Amino acid sequence: MEWWYQKNAAGQVVKHLAGVKGVSNFIEIAPKLKASELEANIRSAFGRSAVLDAKHIRVETAGNKVILRGDVRNYQEREEAERVAWAAPGVLTVANHLEVKWPFFGE
């Protein structure tokens, strides 16, 4: 599959079948994008988010793994950056290393 949500949905559907006691989801995500295209897609999605101020977020990719680094203003922004990264096609894992740096008034 190409998208993480497809893998997740397949596991959820099977889990609710009669007689199923457990599910091991070994479906692999096969990205059709290069790492540079994946990074560009995530950056573009950051720009469309009303919650994110993405100028302090660095996006690194290694295959289908995304690593987020930098500073954000609050926990909502941190969670939104991770959600946006997961929504990109071909993403298998997201490592969220963003740090919350609370803005102080008057500085």
**Which pLDDT score is estimated for 84?**
93
pLDDT at 106 exceeding the cut of 60: no
Higher pLDDT, 25 or 97: 97
Residue 106: alpha-carbon gap to chain centroid? 33
b (16+ CB within 10 A) / e for 56-82: ebebebeebebebeeebeeeebbebbb
Backbone dihedral angles phi then psi of residue 21, each to the nearest 5 degrees: -105, -20
In sequence order, what E strands does 33-92 have?
A: 57-62, 65-72
Per-domain residue ranges of the chain: 1-30, 33-107
The CATH class given to the 33-107 domain equals alpha beta
User: Which residue, 17, 105, 30, 91, is CA-closest to 59?
Assistant: 91
- Reported as a single tens digit per residue, the pLDDT across 36-59 is 788 888 988 888 887 888 888 999
CA atoms within 13 A on the CB side of 99: 3
